[in-house]
Structure formats: C-alpha cells, structure tokens
C-alpha cells in the first residue's frame, strides 16, 4: 500500500499583471495556508519521503513552506511535467519513484489535480487552493501505478477546515 498526497498550490497573487502565469508568487494568505497544511501533515504523521512539485513559482513556494512545516528533509523535485498536466503526466513521474518511498506528495494546479484525483479514486472533489487529498493506493511498487488504479480517498483537508 502506498500513500499519495495531492496538494494544490496555495493562493497566488495577481498583483503584477505583467508576470507570466508560471511566475506568479504566493499571497501572504497563501504562505500562511501552506504552513498550516504542513503542520497538519506533521500532526497526522504523513510527512512524505518524496515531494514533487510543478516548476511554477507558486507551486514550488507552496512545496517549500509545507516541507519546512512538516519537517521534510529531502530535496524537493521540481518538474515542468506538473504544469498544465494530464493524469498520465503525474502517473509517469510517480512510476519512477523508489519503492522505499511509502508516501509521496505532489504539488500542482487545477483542473489537473482534480482530474488526477477523480481518475485514481472516482471522487469528483473540488480542490481549492492549498487543499490536500490523502489517497491510499493498493500497490506495493510505484511502477504498478496506472491512471485508473482504484485508490481510496482517505481524507480531504482545506485550510478553512483547519481554522
């Protein structure tokens, strides 16, 4: 059994209209939410062995703040494959993980993550900014993961549900 944590990036800023979408930073509220979710991960003993993030600035910043708050000590893997991604893009990256990694967290964007969550669990859930889904996957090796692996949505947290 593997655990996949699916995290949508925290609230980003639209303040600088001339910035490319990929380069938008987090808002102060987003930074606070990312830290809150990281603390939640630590509290529930879900600190992942591997974090993989979209290369978009807001996603990487979210991953870094969550990693710090949950005491993740490894390198965060950044991949462009998680920016404007399809479920198969996430699966392809996850299949390359070491099987010693029991828990992995991916950080990305909508609607990409909602499509992945539905593909793996059948659950049509809304993932607002900084939402975290915990998915149990009935696999022993990451290489076994497919887009339609029948995972189970164990829990869905949002920053507002933690306030």
Q: Which CATH architecture has domain 2-12+22-135?
A: 3-Layer(aba) Sandwich (3.40)
Mean pLDDT (whole number) for 51-64: 96
Tens of pLDDT, residue by residue over 111-159, are 999 999 999 999 999 999 999 999 999 999 999 999 999 999 999 999 8
pLDDT of residue 16: 63
Asked whether residue 69 carries a pLDDT value surpassing 80, the answer given is: yes
| pLDDT above 90 coverage of the chain, percent | 87
pLDDT of residue 20: 64
Q: Check: CB of residue 30 under 8 Å from CB of residue 12.
A: yes
Mean pLDDT (whole number) for 35-51: 97
Paired strand residues for 136:
3, 152
Mean pLDDT taken over the chain = 93
Paired strand residues for 53:
78, 107
pLDDT of residue 128: 96
Q: Taking each helix axis from N to C terminus, what angle separates 28-43 and 57-70, rounded to the nearest 10 degrees?
A: 40
Mean pLDDT (whole number) for 96-118: 97
Q: Are strands 103-108 and 132-137 parallel, antiparallel or unpaired?
A: unpaired
Asked whether residue 103 carries a pLDDT value surpassing 80, the answer given is: yes
Model-wide pTM > 0.85: yes
Asked whether residue 45 carries a pLDDT value surpassing 90, the answer given is: yes
Distance CA 67, CA 16 (A): 27
Reported confidence tier of residue 162, pLDDT bands at 50, 70, 90: low
Q: Are strands 77-79 and 132-137 parallel, antiparallel or unpaired?
A: unpaired
């Amino acid at each position: 059994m593997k655990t996949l944590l699916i995290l949508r990036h925290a609230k980003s800023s639209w303040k600088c209209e001339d910035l490319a979408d990929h380069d938008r930073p987090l808002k102060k509220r987003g930074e606070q939410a990312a830290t809150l979710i990281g603390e939640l991960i630590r509290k529930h003993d879900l600190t992942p062995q591997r974090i993989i993030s979209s290369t978009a600035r807001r996603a990487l910043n979210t991953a870094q703040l969550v990693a710090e708050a949950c005491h993740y000590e490894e390198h965060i893997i950044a991949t462009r494959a998680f920016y404007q991604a399809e479920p198969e893009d996430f699966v392809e990256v996850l299949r390359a993980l070491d099987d010693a990694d029991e828990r992995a967290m991916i950080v990305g964007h909508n609607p990409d993550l909602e499509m992945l969550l539905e593909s793996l669990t059948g659950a049509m859930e809304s993932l607002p900014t900084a939402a975290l889904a915990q998915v149990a996957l009935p696999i022993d090796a990451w290489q076994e993961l497919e887009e339609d692996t029948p995972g189970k949505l164990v829990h869905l947290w949002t920053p507002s549900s933690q306030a």
